[in-house]
Amino acid sequence: MIGLNDLRPPAGSRRSPKRVGRGESSGHGKTSGRGNKGQNSRSGRRKRHPAFEGGQMPLVRRVPKRGFHNPFRTEYAVVNVENLNRFAAGSVVGAEELRAAGLVKSGGPLKILGQGALERALTVRAHKFSAQARAKIEAAGGKAETL
């Protein structure tokens, strides 16, 4: 029976590391495969940031800044009116019901948009409605309640 102390990796699966700087006849002597001169031949050569371009002004700094990113923007989870047809007529549809149906992933505020047609009367509760969505919900005999 083979014990844990007898386990060995398969033959040929493990290689010994390349030993550089061990004489000319090894094939990796003298400069140890680093070439002759320059930054890459020195020790500590790889400590450069990803945008470094050899001293040339990096692309990140050559291209002008554009636009604006609002850090206080509210991201809404959006659902179109046509996706509400899967609920039974007369039911109340809120964020929990939409999450259970797989229509909403995030837990943020909910907005209903007006793409498609609504065929049943529903009470829809959301944080925001587009004007078109509110009109379509009320035209189908339902109610659009803002939270």
What CA–CA distance (Å, rounded) separates 37 from 21?
16
Range(s) of the domain holding residue 136? 77-146
Let me know: does 90 contact 107? Beta carbons within 8 Å: no
- Amino acid 142: pLDDT: 86
Residue 81 lies in a domain: yes
Residue 132 lies in a domain: yes
Tell me the average confidence (pLDDT) per consecutive run of 10 residues in the chain, 147 residues long.
89 92 90 86 80 90 93 90 86 86 84 88 89 89 86
Question: CATH number, domain at 102?
Answer: 3.100.10.10
| Count of residues in the chain | 147
The residue written with tokens 């379509």 in the block is 136
Residue 4 lies in a domain: no
Domain count, the chain: 1
Residue 64 lies in a domain: no
Residue 90 lies in a domain: yes
Residue 133 lies in a domain: yes
Residue 136 lies in a domain: yes
- Amino acid 62: pLDDT: 95
Backbone φ/ψ region at 59: left (φ over 0), alpha (ψ -120 to 50), beta: alpha
